[in-house]
Amino acid sequence: MPAGCANMALLILSLPATMHCPFCGANDTKVIDSRLVAEGEQVRRRRECLACGERFTTFETAELVLPRLIKQDGSRQPFDEEKLRAGMQRALEKRPVSVERLEAALVHIKHKLRATGEREVKSLVVGELVMAELQKLDEVAYIRFASVYRRFQDLNEFREEIE
């Protein structure tokens, strides 16, 4: 890396990041801890509001274009990370899985989608990726998600999935 680029990277990283406090709305916050998470794909920052003293966590990722989704009815829509996160959180509700592990799974799914090199992917591909990640995270969450996603018609189909 040319010396100028390294200096620029240091300059950018050393600039104070101001963010509004989600508790009081003040924009006087400071970063008290930063660390790489999700296999180095994200930066997790602990922040403290200088106005009210509350602490909160933010996650920072590079914004890269994800493929559009082709739904089962043939319609197309942009990839919605919040919808993906909400579905996985629903499956993981009241399960012993940390936010960091969930975020790492989301990063892994997005990485695999980008790695296809396709501009569009079938929503079924995303569903299969989610199930694979949930199976690694928590067996109960996997079964919860699969039971809704696969739309089992009877108990035998459900049993087959579990086995």
pLDDT band, residue 12 (cuts 50/70/90):
very low
Residue found by looking up tokens 């960091």 in the block: 100
Structure-model confidence comparison of residues 129 and 161, the more confident one: 129
For 130-162, how does the pLDDT look when each residue is reduced to its tens digit (9 = 90+)?
A: 999 999 999 999 988 888 877 666 666 667 766
Where in the chain do CATH 2.20.25 domains reside?
1-62
For 65-124, how does the pLDDT look when each residue is reduced to its tens digit (9 = 90+)?
A: 889 999 999 999 999 999 999 999 999 999 999 999 999 999 999 999 998 889 999 999
pLDDT band, residue 5 (cuts 50/70/90):
very low
**What architecture does CATH give domain 1-62?**
Single Sheet (2.20)
At residue 15, the pLDDT reads: 43
The arithmetic mean of pLDDT across residues 1-15, rounded, is 38
Q: pTM of the entire structure?
A: 0.58
Structure-model confidence comparison of residues 35 and 4, the more confident one: 35
CB distance 46 to 32 below 8 Å:
yes
Burial of 108 (0-12, 13-18, 19+ CB in 10 A): middle
